[in-house]
Amino acid sequence: MTEREQLENLCRWNRELVRENTRLREKLGRSEHTGDELRCANANLQLERDATDALLGEAMDHLTGGSQR
């Protein structure tokens, strides 16, 4: 293999690596975005759970005639 052929192969391989790197960065960006959305949804669900728990506690207190503490 001549030096020119080696250089051509090296350039071709470099272009493939650049394409793969770009693809992986895009995939990572989408994954990070999905992770952010999931964390936000989880935080919202935790707030709803806490609010529901508080409302349920008030309803149970009301049904039992007040707090039994």
Over residues 11-62, the pLDDT tens digits come to 999 999 999 999 999 999 999 999 999 999 999 999 999 999 999 999 999 9
The pair of three-digit structure tokens given for residue 24, joined into one six-digit string: 């992986």
Burial zone of 66 (CB within 10 Å; 0-12 exposed, 13-18 middle, 19+ buried) = exposed
CA nearest 15: which of 7, 30, 1, 3? 7
pTM of the shown model: 0.65
Give the three-state DSSP class for 62: helix
For residue 67, the model assigns a pLDDT of: 54
**Distance in angstroms (rounded) separating the CA atoms of residues 30 and 36:** 10
Enclosing domain of residue 28: 1-69
Number of domains into which the chain is organized: 1
